[in-house]
Structure 1
């Protein structure tokens, strides 16, 4: 579904990715783990058309993405829920959802909104509330819901549990599992590595703009060297 080969990218004259190879097959949950500054967010931003590509290739469903504007990449079915949520604080919940909707993907706004409200009942309850008045967990649900309004076939989630209470983190990861069961492929970037590895099919370990280790998520989770380095083992 998604194939990244030899990706080199950065911001202006600063290169931050040095030959990333990554693949997501249909139906998979892939996680990317690593310390702050490892290149996880930059990889997602590069896939979404938000960084300068210096070399390599990115293909989604066989179509090259290099050079396409972000809105066209989204229209192809590749969604991105960014780090920090980036919801529109001065708009209501429903206005945020409408901002995420893309016409021409074969489904109406009302149909998708109904599914999002079924998945996140609190969003329906607070649909007329300003996003700025919601809790951190509710804002994260809104950010995911807004991403779903574009009906993605592959959804990239950047640090979905960042800054949330343990109870809310569990809810977010239950939602990720639900999305996977609904047929959406996922890339999950997480500092909460152990939780991400428990739900993922495949994992990439990032360090200094490079993918240093990859393999089945279960194998990575139980690797003693990686446990010591990334999982607090």
Structure 2
């Protein structure tokens, strides 16, 4: 379901997995993306429009600082936005000159992302199912992993995202920096930083930074893992 933009080597886009299922989790996100506007659906449902404008801008500014500006028209960074929702961050990264692949399991979200245009190539997939014939400089997953309540599903997703990162590339995921699991409501489970390290360090990724959002009472931030082998 990619849009035909050329791959880094001039070839076709990767073949995403189009078999993302229709279980209750997918139904929830389809309904949320259908019923909420482009910010609330992927932002904080407890914030008003102005609050979400600020929340998105703050996250984007922090993210761009982490990604850096090591790009040029001749050698853009190759970025994957995993669980992209309606494509806000994917479009922003594309505007900054990066070459962006993006996917989500929600067909409703992807319809809105395609309609907005803006440069990224979109596909439909689960986090544990996306495949690419080439590695990425940056793999990004914003405010998605802590919605996976099942530990096996979470681990499989994290392992797959790690497999897509090139040597010296970075995996940037968001969660709290906590020492113990924290459940919030019935659809969020924040896992300890040690749990992320336990999965990723044997795969050659070192935890190099945690940068909190610093927005109101939210304790989530960006965990940066760098592939060292």
TM-score, normalising length: structure 2? 0.36
Q: Which has the higher helix share?
A: 1
Structure number with larger C-alpha Rg: 1
The answer to which structure, 1 or 2, has the higher relative contact order (CA under 8 A, 6+ apart) is 1
TM-score, normalising length: structure 1? 0.35
